[in-house]
Amino acid sequence: MRRLAAVLLTGAVVVGGCAKSEEPSDPLQVAATLESATPAPSPDQATTPAGTVLPLSGKATAVVFVGGTLAVAVEAPPSVQLFTLPDAAPRTVALPAPAARLVVAGDRVEAAVPTGDVVVSISPADATSTSTPYDGGPADVAALGGQTLVAERDAHSVRLGDREIGPVTSPDQVLVADGHVVVLDRLRSAVFDLDATAGTLGAGLRAGDGATNAVTDRFGRVLVTDTRGGELLAFTANPLIMRQRYPVPGGPYGLAYDPRTDLAWVTLTEKNEVVAYHVAGGEPVEKFRFPTVRQPDSVAVDPGSGRVFVASADGQGIQVISP
């Protein structure tokens, strides 16, 4: 296992050094030219995907499961397709542009649409939707008490009510772990804590070499896939500390967590696989590994049944696995 290492700075110092240069002064900046990590290209499928594969009319960009409904964001035409399984015929909710992320909010699904400057709130029950405009390129949303946090990528900030908190080079995800807010910055492969009461950005930590996706678990931690570094990372939110750094070869990208079994499901796009790690102990322990559809960029889990849903970003459909 790699040596656990991290760089800790205050938000003010971190932000002050985010400019691009030949010799970057920001210790969190991993290269002179900032570039977000992306999913590794998948090879042609060599094995049959496990479980059942449902057809999908388009390339998936995100997937979540809520209240018996599987919601899948599709790139073109931009939409969210709602599946009430086992019925394979979806209901479709049109979007103004592709969704970057789908988030479960109670019994609804929030679709963050950064290039459309809007967050679309969808009712899976009747496939109706309402839209809330945000000028800053909303990439993600999260609930904090009765308020909504919006990661505004183009505005380089996080909106909380009428306040803009930042600056953040690239606020790609905003997460709430036991009431504490953490922001994932893909460009700098870093996580930051955010003080919602003071309206300030706090400490920042490196999150490997190319952090891409994050989820929270029932222990108040933030789990992060480091796609470039091939690792699964775990951070506590209060204080912000890296607690685990575990090697996951194969291009880890998509990430979902099952609070009932404490399994973190990670897609490996270099291998067309999905692997489950039990994360309740001192280090992750592999429990399951399955072959997937090609380019498995997105994954979701149904905590009630344990079913896992893997969505292809290459138009190869949605895979349903019962471990």
CA angle 179-183-184, nearest 5°? 135
Asked if pLDDT for residue 236 goes beyond 90, the answer is yes
Token digits for 273? 């696989």
Asked if pLDDT for residue 181 goes beyond 60, the answer is yes
Per-residue model confidence (pLDDT) at position 87:
85
Predicted TM-score (pTM) of this structure: 0.91
Instruction: Report in angstroms the alpha-carbon separations of 6 from 117, 174, 187, 204, 279.
Output: 34, 20, 17, 10, 20
Asked if pLDDT for residue 64 goes beyond 80, the answer is yes
Rg (CA), the chain: 18
DSSP type of residue 42: P
Taking only the tens place, the pLDDT of each residue in 110-166 is 999 999 999 999 999 999 999 999 999 999 999 998 899 999 999 999 999 999 999
Token digits for 164? 């803009």
Contact indicator for 214, 222 with CB cutoff of 8 Å: yes
Instruction: Report in angstroms the alpha-carbon separations of 307 from 52, 152, 189, 261.
Output: 11, 32, 30, 11
> Which amino acid, one-letter code, is at 162?
D
When pLDDT is cut at 50, 70 and 90, the band that residue 20 belongs to is: very low
When pLDDT is cut at 50, 70 and 90, the band that residue 88 belongs to is: confident
- What is the DSSP pairing of strand 60-66 with strand 221-226? unpaired
Per-residue model confidence (pLDDT) at position 32:
61
When pLDDT is cut at 50, 70 and 90, the band that residue 34 belongs to is: confident
- pLDDT above 90 coverage of the chain, percent: 85
Asked if pLDDT for residue 48 goes beyond 70, the answer is yes
When pLDDT is averaged across residues 43-60 and rounded to a whole number, the result is 95
When pLDDT is averaged across residues 75-93 and rounded to a whole number, the result is 94
Per-residue model confidence (pLDDT) at position 12:
31
When pLDDT is averaged across residues 6-11 and rounded to a whole number, the result is 38
Per-residue model confidence (pLDDT) at position 139:
98
Asked if pLDDT for residue 3 goes beyond 70, the answer is no
Residue among 169, 180, 113 at smallest CA distance from 141:
113
270 C-beta neighbours (distance < 10 Å), count: 17
When pLDDT is cut at 50, 70 and 90, the band that residue 18 belongs to is: very low
Per-residue model confidence (pLDDT) at position 86:
87
Taking only the tens place, the pLDDT of each residue in 300-317 is 999 999 999 999 999 999
Residues 204 and 182: their CA atoms lie apart, in Å, by 10
Residues 264 and 287: their CA atoms lie apart, in Å, by 10
When pLDDT is averaged across residues 218-235 and rounded to a whole number, the result is 98
Contact indicator for 110, 83 with CB cutoff of 8 Å: no
The architecture CATH gives domain 8-321: 7 Propeller (2.130)
Please, which residues have CB within 8 angstroms of residue 14's CB and are 6 or more apart in sequence? 26, 28, 190, 192, 204
Please, which residues have CB within 8 angstroms of residue 199's CB and are 6 or more apart in sequence? 160, 163, 165
Q: Who has greater pLDDT, 22 or 278?
A: 278
